[in-house]
Amino acid sequence: MTTALAPALTPTHLRFLEQLFPGEGLVTKPEEMAVFGADSSRRSALPWAVVRPRTEDQIVELLKWAEAERMPLVPRLRGTGMSGGAVPAFGGVVVSTLWLNRVLDINAGDFCAEVEPGVVTAEFQALTQKQKLFYPPDPASLKISTLGGNVSTCAGGMRAVKYGVTRDYVLGVRAVLPGGKICDAGGRTHKNVVGLDLTRLFVGSCGTLGIFTKLTLKLLPLPESSATVLAAFPSLVAALEGAKGVFRAGILPTAMEFMDATACRGIAQIKDVPWPDNTQAVLLLKVDGSASALAEDIIRLEQALSRANPSCLLKGLGPKEEEPLWEIRRLVSPAAFQLGPDKLGEDVAVPRGKTVEAVEGFQAIGAENNTHVACYGHLGDGNIHVNIIYDAADEGQRTRAKACKEAVFRLTLSLGGTISGEHGTGITKAPYVSWQLSETERELMAGIKQVFDPSGILNPGKGWV
Ligand SMILES: Cc1cc2nc3c(=O)[nH]c(=O)nc-3n(C[C@H](O)[C@H](O)[C@H](O)COP(=O)(O)OP(=O)(O)OC[C@H]3O[C@@H](n4cnc5c(N)ncnc54)[C@H](O)[C@@H]3O)c2cc1C
């Protein structure tokens, strides 16, 4: 039976932490801890203390102690999560594993790498490329988030259409469990069917099952070349038809992103844009592969898009020409603030055949509630970012924004979709998990949580837990 968690940190607890984490390894001043209590969800809470382990041994000792004391622990890396997963909203000690940041091995023979959780994703990718190897997962936050955070949230990215998400590149996870036991799930082989797939269970578990200390990641050969095409359309339907045409032509793009009229309007307020004023949607597609295959793919891609009558079609060959086109895409999220000071950033996903219905429905929800709703994102995966833009200081706008969010979730679920395609449930979507998961599914998940963390000390109150 679960016993109540410790309600606060006592002087005895503090003495233990001071011994285990000497010097800068322990942070207790509120003004220094504040930054460890927030993430990109714009939620925050003050931790009871922050510990910064340098070794796995320290984490083992911490988890033995925490289990005995029923001390809540909230694992944390760069705090770029969008759902409050690293926010100690229900109290506890924040465990920052950012100092575990070594790349232990990049092996071209095994096509795998071993890393500690605190390695920044883009820095790791740059290292793999030096050996002509490729780690595809590319969340838009790749320059500021870590591999540990990406694995813990199962981060997606733009290249998911062709290459899949973080889950598809995790071969093994080493994690310390409550009580201090180490679980070394998976390993360096690209196939492994002995027993249940504990590795996959850790991926996307948002710090609720164990604290990662090492990850084994799968690598691919680095594609020789790449190209990007931007196409603007005078109607949403034409853009979405253009996207369908690409798949119909037998092309599997590396990335297929889209931005609706509201998103395009936001960007146009902060940057000179290449599309005409009457643009209702923009598609951005990337292809990669050998130089010879790519030349042919580009021609077929342009032909497929042209059939949907774009008002503008631009092409970038190779990273230098492609970069300005992708820079436009990266501006969408910040540009949303041109339309209002606050936003609810949802990341629903629908079956790929339902994207037109979904986007039209989300836009209608915005119009019905007199609220800006900008849709953009990973069209190729059916993963639509729905930004509901409002002013939180205005009660009417706040109420309408919440109504929009709930209507967006309802429509998504009615189309057979999910309320989160990549950001996870954390605290922001926790109240809606039961809208999607049945009682049976939630009971199974609670049972799994109980096996890993019988006292419920790891990241309490997050998502399905
Ligand atoms: C501008 C921007 C763009 C983004 N774009 C994308 C995108 O394209 N795709 C996408 O999926 N996400 C995106 N995100 C969300 C975010 O970057 C990802 O969720 C990322 O994986 C979080 O990594 P982090 O290092 O910041 O982890 P944190 O936010 O610190 O933590 C994330 C989760 O991991 C847990 N955790 C931390 N350390 C450990 C550990 N050692 N062991 C076990 N669990 C641990 C935490 O408790 C938390 O639940 C974006 C965020 C921003 C700000």
Share of the chain above pLDDT 70, in %: 99
The last residue of a domain, from among 204, 221, 238: 221
Q: State pLDDT tens for residues 335-375.
A: 888 889 999 999 999 999 899 899 999 999 999 999 999 99
- Where does a domain end: 276, 300, 333? 333
pLDDT for res 332: 87
Is residue 75 within 6 Å of ligand 1 at its C-beta? yes
**Residue 2 pLDDT more than 90?**
no
User: For 11-66, what is each residue's pLDDT tens digit?
Assistant: 999 999 999 999 999 999 999 999 999 999 989 999 999 999 999 999 999 999 99
pLDDT digits over 175-206, tens only?
A: 999 999 999 999 999 999 999 999 999 999 99
Give 336-361 as a DSSP string: GGGS-SEEEEEEEE--GGGHHHHHHH
Q: What is 232-279 written as a DSSP string?
A: EESSHHHHHHHHHHHHHTT---SEEEEEEHHHHHHHHTTS--SS-TT-
Instruction: Select from 116, 145, 333, 387 the residue to mutate for testing ligand 1; criterion: most ligand atoms less than 8 Å from CB.
Output: 145
Residues 215 and 235 in one domain: no
Cβ(86) to ligand 1 under 6 A?
Answer: yes
Residue nearest to atom 7 of ligand 1 (CA): 139
pLDDT tens across 211-233, in order?
999 999 999 999 999 999 999 99
Q: How many CB atoms lie within 10 A of CB 265?
A: 18
Task: Give the model's pLDDT for residue 330.
Answer: 83
- If you ran DSSP here, which 8-state letter would residue 58 be given? H
Q: What pLDDT is attached to residue 149? A: 98
Q: What is the pTM of this model?
A: 0.95
Beta bridge partners, 344, equal: 388
On whether residue 35 sits in a domain, the answer given is no
Let me know if residue 203 belongs to a domain: yes
Ligand 1 atom with the shortest distance to the CA of 207:
44
Of 306, 333, 360, the position where a domain reaches its end is: 333
Residue 113: which CATH number?
Answer: 3.30.465.10
Residue 406 is assigned to a structural domain of this protein? yes
How far apart, in whole angstroms, are the C-alpha atoms of residue 315 and residue 57?
52
3-state secondary structure of 68: helix
Question: Is the CB of 166 within 6 Å of ligand 1?
Answer: no
Same domain for 185 and 155: yes
Q: Tell me which residue of 168, 169, 166 sits closest to 141, measured CA to CA.
A: 166
Q: Distance, CA 152 to ligand 1 centroid (Å)?
A: 7
> Is the residue at 170 inside a domain?
yes
Q: Is 170 helix (H, G, I), strand (E, B) or coil?
A: strand
Domain that holds residue 411: 339-423
Classify each residue of 60-94 as buried b or exposed e, where b means 16 or more C-beta atoms within 10 Å of its C-beta: bbbbebbbebbbbbbbbbbbbbbbbbbbbbebbbb
Within 117-241, strands assigned E span 133-134, 170-176, 182-186, 211-218, 220-221, 225-233
Is 296 a member of any domain? yes
Q: Does pLDDT of 465 surpass 80? A: no
**pLDDT tens profile 245-297:** 999 999 999 999 999 999 998 899 998 999 999 999 999 999 999 988 898 99
Average pLDDT over residues 86-98: 97
- Angle between helix axes 355-368 and 395-414 (nearest 10 degrees) is 160
- Please give the mean pLDDT across all residues of the chain: 95
Distance between CA atoms of 200 and 190, rounded to whole angstroms? 13
Q: Which atom of ligand 1 is nearest to the CA of 76?
A: 37
Name which residue sits closest to atom 13 of ligand 1, judged by CA: 139
Ligand 1 closest atom vs CA 333: 1
pLDDT tens readout for residues 125-183: 999 999 999 999 999 899 999 999 999 999 999 999 999 999 999 999 999 999 999 99
Q: Is the CB of 347 within 6 Å of ligand 1?
A: no
Which own/partner pairs from 23-29 qualify as long-range (CB within 8 Å, at least 24 positions apart)? 24/52, 25/51, 25/52, 25/53, 25/54, 25/58, 26/50, 26/51, 26/52, 27/51, 27/52
357: domain CATH number is 3.30.70.2740
Whether the CB-CB separation of 212 and 175 falls below 8 Å is answered with yes
Residue 156 in contact with ligand 1 by CB distance below 6 A: yes
DSSP letters of 352-386? GGGHHHHHHHHHHHHHHTT-EEEEEEEGGGTEEEE
- DSSP collapsed to 3 states, 21-44: CCHHHEECCHHHHHHHHECCCCCE
407 and 308 both lie in a single domain: no
Q: How confident is the model at residue 460 (pLDDT cuts 50, 70, 90)?
A: very high
Judge whether residue 1 has pLDDT over 60: no
In a domain, 31, yes or no: no
**Which structure tokens are listed for 40?**
């990109």
